[in-house]
Amino acid sequence: MDVPPRCSFNAPTGVRRVVGTVEVDLDAIRSVGRRWGATVNDVLLVATSGALADILRTRGEYPAELVISVPVSARGANADGELGNQVGVMPVRVPLAGTPAQRSVSVSRSTRAQKSSVRGRSATLIGLLFDVLAAIRIFRWFVDRQRLVNSFLSNLPGPSSPLRFAGASVSAIVPLIVNTGNVGVAFVALSYAGTLTVTIIVDPELVPEVRELTEALHDQFQAIIAAGGTSAR
């Protein structure tokens, strides 16, 4: 398997984290994706990788692609009666050259092809690998030096209607995940009441440009929506 490009934000992380958030209209992203034959997750991959590329270019780094890990269902066709979550991971190679439409089509084709081969086996293989690494006490050493992915992206479906808590309306939900090892930037998206909120989680020692990265992600979404012929929110 080809290794991802070396990037300056792939280095052992510390204990501090800083976050930024971007909100975008879910229907606008979904509409653009459908026009290009892509899912919301495909469009998210294009937007997040584009934002990362914008920051890398300011550092004098010009990778042709980035590899972003996304979770996938690992349930096999005969697993209906089994309890518990069965989740695998899928590294997606996202090209950085081309228009948003071209990049989305490329990502969509790649993810469709990979899902059929990943589902049902990746969770088992990854789980076995991590068990072995933990047993011989080199798990931390491995994740600090892995050359499999540049970043993580999780996309979580949330309630489509507004919620209330203790009599008050919930105006927004901000998702969070933990990024460890040598992944200095991770993304998590959550849809809620028609809004897609994307949280950027960074190690500020590796990525002090959290404000610039947040602005870059916002600009990526605006460019994608404009390219899809849908009015931006």
In a domain, 11, yes or no: no
Is 55 within a domain?
Answer: yes
Let me know if residue 13 belongs to a domain.
no
C-alpha count within 13 angstroms, C-beta hemisphere, residue 32? 29
| Total domains present in the chain | 1
Domain that holds residue 96: 18-227
* Main-chain dihedrals φ then ψ at residue 198, nearest 5 degrees: -115, 125
pLDDT digits 0-9 by tens, 112-142: 887 766 554 555 555 566 566 566 665 565 5
Q: What is the pLDDT of residues 177-209, one digit of tens each?
A: 888 889 999 999 999 999 999 999 999 999 999
Residue 230 pLDDT greater than 80, yes or no: no
Give the pLDDT score at 67. Answer: 95
Is residue 6 domain-resident?
no
CATH number, position 70: 3.30.559.30
Distance from first CA to last CA of the chain, Å, rounded? 40
> How many Cα atoms within 13 Å fall on the side-chain side of residue 137?
0
Q: 153: helix, coil or strand?
A: strand
pLDDT at 178: 85
Largest Cα span, the chain: 54
The reply to whether 41 falls in a domain is yes
pLDDT tens-digit readout, 50-94: 999 999 999 999 999 999 989 876 555 555 555 555 556 788 999
Grouping H, G, I as helix, E, B as strand and the rest as coil, residue 198 is strand
Residue 30 lies in a domain: yes
Whether 169 is covered by a domain: the verdict is yes
31 domain-assigned: yes
